[in-house]
Structure 1
Amino acid sequence: MRISETDPSGLSPEQKKIYDRITAGPRGQVRGPYHAYLLHPGVCEGVERMGHFLRFAATLSGNLRELAILTVGRHWKAEFEWFAHAPIAIREGLAEDTIEAIRVGTAPTFSNDEEAAVHGFVCSLLETGRINDDVYSDMKSRLGEDGIVELIGIVGHYTGVAMTLNSFEIVPPEGERPEFS
């Protein structure tokens, strides 16, 4: 890791307020990209609130949320993102063979049409930066326009997380197997 883990005793009052909110919330601890984000309280404030909403308060079902996050993590080869979210994806009901296919970069076989549609949407957005009319129309019928905004929010947010993780070389703890190296 290019930076040190956050030492709460060395934080400014602004940083400490955010640190305390993170540790008191559902995350329970500061880890991963938050060690970097806390270096800039203004950025951390916005990123943490967006991440908290998308992960803990949004309406997209957990399996679809985690499918999108894993697809983003794989695209950017963000080791820590995968390490953190693959177990959550399993708990949220995403099939282990789907997770493995995404990890190794092959096309998953979905038994759930909604998962297949979300995966296709996310892959298209990551690969081309665009969504064609048919894919948009299909997703609108499934999630509504507000659901599309939420899904794009997940893709954008976790792309930023992946870039932060990769730039600061934030990887899983010692002893954990790298997934993409």
Structure 2
Amino acid sequence: MPRIEHLTDRSQLPTEQHVEYDFIFDTLHRVGGPFGILLHSPGLAEKVCRAGKQVRLGSDITMIERELALLSTSREKDASYEWATHVEIARREGMSEDAIVAIRENRSTDDLALEEKEIIDYTRTLLRTNRVPQDMFDALIERHGPRWVVEITATIGQYQYIAAINNAFEVEPKSGGEVLPIPMPNAG
């Protein structure tokens, strides 16, 4: 149960916020997850949804590339809500089970295909160190070009933001979704 009321029905909002609700509903075909929380700040949910729409629909990255970045971000941020939703999408889109296991269990990427390895390693490095080594950056620019690197990085940033909302407000994953194992914090 979220820590604050989840605003998922249009009737829960003042009339002046119905346009915002409608935009989210029209884009996602529902209002839930982080948007049920973000609607507490008029205007914010729509702006986040617009950025997400651009990342998802206005990007040149493939669905598999997007889901690799998204699942890697979910793992790094212990984001159960996004993991449960997107691991299903990743499988449906044809992501290898080896990549899913490597992400979920924080395993080495050495045996994965280059396309999987580079996105997982890039995401892990960026989120663990808040930087990317020049050689890693240069290799991605060389292979994919500036637009791709901007868009994969924006995807990581977007879902890091979503993870923060879902985790802080304890938005639970849908029932029956794959559970992301969350490491226990160190005692002491």
Give the TM-score of the pair, scaled to structure 1.
0.91
Gaps of 5+ in 1: none
- In structure 2, the partner of 1:85 is 86
- In structure 1, the partner of 2:39 is 38
Question: SS where residue 56 of structure 2 aligns?
Answer: helix
What is the deviation of 1:123? 1.1
CA gap 1:73/1:17 in 2 versus in 1, 3 angstroms: same
What is the deviation of 1:138? 0.5
What is the deviation of 1:148? 1.1
What is the deviation of 1:177? 5.4
CA gap 1:158/1:152 in 2 versus in 1, 3 angstroms: same
How many residue pairs match? The answer is 180
Whether the aligned pair in 1 keeps the contact of 2:109 and 2:121 (CA below 8 Å) is no
Whether the aligned pair in 1 keeps the contact of 2:20 and 2:43 (CA below 8 Å) is no
Gaps of 5+ in 2: 183-188
CA gap 1:111/1:76 in 2 versus in 1, 3 angstroms: closer
CA gap 1:76/1:143 in 2 versus in 1, 3 angstroms: same
Deviates more, 1:170-179 or 1:40-49: 170-179
Distance 2:48 2:125 in 1: 24
Distance 1:70 1:16 in 2: 32
Distance 1:110 1:31 in 2: 37
Distance 1:44 1:124 in 2: 29
Q: Which runs of 4+ in 1 moved over 6 A?
A: none
Question: SS where residue 89 of structure 1 aligns?
Answer: helix
Alignment of 1:26-175 (within 5 A): 27-108=28-109, 110-175=111-176
Richer in helix (by share): 1
The percentage of aligned residue pairs carrying the same residue is: 34
- In structure 2, the partner of 1:17 is 19
Q: Which amino acid aligns with 1:139?
A: L
Distance 2:153 2:91 in 1: 22
CA gap 1:123/1:130 in 2 versus in 1, 3 angstroms: same
What is the deviation of 1:4? 2.4
What is the deviation of 1:105? 1.8
CA gap 1:176/1:155 in 2 versus in 1, 3 angstroms: closer
Whether the aligned pair in 1 keeps the contact of 2:23 and 2:46 (CA below 8 Å) is no
Distance 2:53 2:149 in 1: 18
What is the deviation of 1:110? 4.9
